[in-house]
């Protein structure tokens, strides 16, 4: 392998893909009622159902960044092993993780001038970050150098589309995404927001629909407008969910049934949980769709 890909657990990739793509993971942390917890991808997965049940009961959850010390430890381990490092981080528009880790890796780059250390702000979140990393890892498998992968990442990060809906507007209210009045009346009227991650890597409400089924259909309709893919780009679709697997499966089936581009066969969407660090802010019932589109976000 020509270099290592370093990222964090906010990418929401399941353990088997972390191993398949030989990714190096930094765990993010969260605190439930004063008790610290760590996100892992090495077989010590969180009990997601229990976590979301606690959110439903109103348990207080806070999240923390990757510490400078942890970033130094992970980076130094790879560099001491003679590896070059490409770091792909959680969107700087949603978290301070990228800034903290990239600054730590910058210090290491000066300490190890014989090694290459490159950083990319994914401007992505959840399995959107995971999808972005998947494309980079597949490019590496085809023999691309660290410089080529870094350049591809910078040129294509705005082509990773993120579309979200949530079931409980009160979690968005707590995060400042909607007003208290909108959350209260929206909940009473069963209004569901359709959101995306914009070019700055921040979450924006694009539209609102009445009812859960319509919000799921709105995500599938967004995918249906995607442009044909260029040669050499696989049609990969990821879906993440906040403990609403049946809704995720319904969305996946809608996408597959409505897909007709025989030149680029679709892989059945990979479905994964939204991890606790992101789920603490989006809440139970979050449903998110991710795909590549040359037209951008």
DSSP code of residue 162: E
Query: Mean pLDDT across the stretch 23-39?
Result: 90
Cβ atoms of 235 and 227 closer than 8 Å: no
pLDDT bracket for residue 203 (50, 70, 90): confident
Domain with CATH 3.40.50.10170 in the chain: 4-157
pLDDT bracket for residue 172 (50, 70, 90): low
Q: What are 253-292's pLDDT values in tens digits?
A: 999 999 988 778 888 999 999 999 999 988 999 999 999 9
DSSP code of residue 227: P
Query: Mean pLDDT across the stretch 233-248?
Result: 95
Task: For domain 159-292, give its CATH number from 3.30.70.2190, 3.30.1180.10, 3.30.1490.20, 1.10.3720.10.
Answer: 3.30.1180.10
Query: What are the CA-CA distances from residue 152 to residues 38, 111, 120, 135, 289 (Å)?
Result: 31, 27, 10, 9, 22
Task: For domain 4-157, give its CATH number from 3.40.50.10170, 3.40.47.10, 3.40.50.300, 3.30.1550.10.
Answer: 3.40.50.10170
Domain with CATH 3.30.1180.10 in the chain: 159-292
For the cut 50, the answer to whether the pLDDT of residue 186 exceeds it is no
pLDDT > 90: percent of the chain: 67
Environment class of 250 (CB within 10 Å of its CB; exposed 0-12, middle 13-18, buried 19+): middle
């Amino acid at each position: 392998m020509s270099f290592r890909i370093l990222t964090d657990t906010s990418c929401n990739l399941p353990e088997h893909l972390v191993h398949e793509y030989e990714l190096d993971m930094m765990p993010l942390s969260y605190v439930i009622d004063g008790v610290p917890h760590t996100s892992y991808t090495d077989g010590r997965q969180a009990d997601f159902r229990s976590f979301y049940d606690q959110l439903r009961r109103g348990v207080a959850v806070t999240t923390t960044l990757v510490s400078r010390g942890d970033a130094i430890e992970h980076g130094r381990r790879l560099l001491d092993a003679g590896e070059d490092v490409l770091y792909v981080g959680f969107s700087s528009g949603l978290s301070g993780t990228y800034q903290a880790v990239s600054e730590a890796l910058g210090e290491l780059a000066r300490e190890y001038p014989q090694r290459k250390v490159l950083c990319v702000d994914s401007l992505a979140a959840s399995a959107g970050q995971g999808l972005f990393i998947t494309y980079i890892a597949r490019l590496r498998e085809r023999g691309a150098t660290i410089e080529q992968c870094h350049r591809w990442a910078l040129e294509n990060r705005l082509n990773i589309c993120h579309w979200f809906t949530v079931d409980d507007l009160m979690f968005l209210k707590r995060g400042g995404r909607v007003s208290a009045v909108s959350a209260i009346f929206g909940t009473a009227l069963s209004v569901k927001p359709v959101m995306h991650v914009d070019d700055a890597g921040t979450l924006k409400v694009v539209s609102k629909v009445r009812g859960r089924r319509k919000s799921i259909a709105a995500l599938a309709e967004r995918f249906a407008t995607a442009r044909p893919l260029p040669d050499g780009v696989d049609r990969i679709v990821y879906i993440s969910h906040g403990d609403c697997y049946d809704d995720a499966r319904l969305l996946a089936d809608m996408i597959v049934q409505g897909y007709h581009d025989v030149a680029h066969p679709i892989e059945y969407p990979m479905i994964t949980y939204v991890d606790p660090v992101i789920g603490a802010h989006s809440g139970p019932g979050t449903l998110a769709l991710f795909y590549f589109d040359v037209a951008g976000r």
